[in-house]
Amino acid sequence: MHPIPDIASDFRADLHCHTTCSDGSLEPRAVIDLALSIGLQGLSITDHDTVAAYEESISYAREKKLYLGTGVEFSCNFEARSVHVLGYDFCLEDFSFLSYCKRQQEKRLVRNRLILEKLHRLKIFIEESELFLSFQEQASTLGRPHIAAAMVRKGYVKSIAEAFQLYLGDHKSCYVAGEPFPVLEAVEILHQAGGKAFIAHPHMYADAAFVRRVLDVPFDGIECYYGKTSPDVVRRWKKVAEKRNLLMSGGSDFHGEAKPYVSLGGAWVSQDVFFRIFEKNLIV
């Protein structure tokens, strides 16, 4: 365990953001620069299904004196509904963890193809080779934002938001749920890699009873602070976390241009929470 450093009381850490390695618009170093420029002292990069961002981020964060905790976000399934799992403080080199990331990425390729087929039927012609965001040539993880960006580039829609609204959003005409892995498997893989598993943005799921059932999976914590959720919602999830003796995390879900209305640092955790979550795999 790291000794908790004696640092400023205004310590803030954003534990949820995405880079060009998945569907964010800023490269890992640019996210770190932005974090420092807005006064954050800690960060966890939680790209979808990949830890590729850490390759360049480790030395850069050290150089710039930013506390960086390992992170990832997986899209999973519970009772046939989508649930996102955030992983923290796992070992970046764990073999089972890395092969799980690979399996998640492969699943996405299959799902992307099915979405492209549905679009094709509506005379929207996008090739797999065209799936990149305007600000990146290649990401480890490809998903709906990359399909949306191709639709914008080819003039089928005016914006990424419109592509989601008309075609790609949950349960719209070209939506494909895919066959995500169960929540329990992601949680177990994270534990095996020495990490902790958190349920992401719980307010986004169907209802509180559903979340309570999801929380019967051995999670370590709940993402209580998220983007611009209202104080009431934050209070509700903090209460659930306290009752179940779970950790409380928080972050903005920053994506850059892909979600221009979300700012880095919009939600954050304090120093004691940060060091309670990142006990083993913290980059300092």
Report d(CA 13, CA 270) in Å as an integer.
Answer: 7
Nearest alpha-carbon partner for 200 in 53, 186, 35: 186
Q: Judged by CB under 6 A, does residue 255 bind ligand AMP?
A: yes
Footprint (CB under 6 A) of ligand AMP, residues 143-182: 143-145, 160-161, 164, 169
38 within 8 A of 128, measured Cβ to Cβ: no
- Rounded to the nearest whole angstrom, what is the least distance from the CB of residue 87 to ligand AMP in the complex? 15
| Residues contacting residue 182 through CB under 8 Å, at least 6 positions apart | 76, 77, 78
Nearest alpha-carbon partner for 146 in 176, 116, 178: 116
Residue whose C-beta lies closest to ligand AMP = 143
- Rounded to the nearest whole angstrom, what is the least distance from the CB of residue 258 to ligand AMP in the complex? 6
Cβ-based neighbour number of residue 173 at 10 Å: 12
Binding mask 9-48 for Fe ion (x = CB under 5 A): ----------------------------------------
- 3-state DSSP assignment of residue 151: helix
Give the binding-site size for Fe ion (rule: CB under 5 A). 4
Distances (CA, A) of 103 to 182, 187, 228: 13, 15, 32
Scanning 100-108, 165-173, 243-251, 252-260 for contacts with Fe ion by CB under 5 A, the matching segment is: 252-260
- Rounded to the nearest whole angstrom, what is the least distance from the CB of residue 182 to ligand AMP in the complex? 17
The residues binding Fe ion (CB under 5 A) are 73, 84, 200, 253
The residues binding ligand AMP (CB under 6 A) are 23, 48, 75, 143-145, 160-161, 164, 169, 255, 258-259
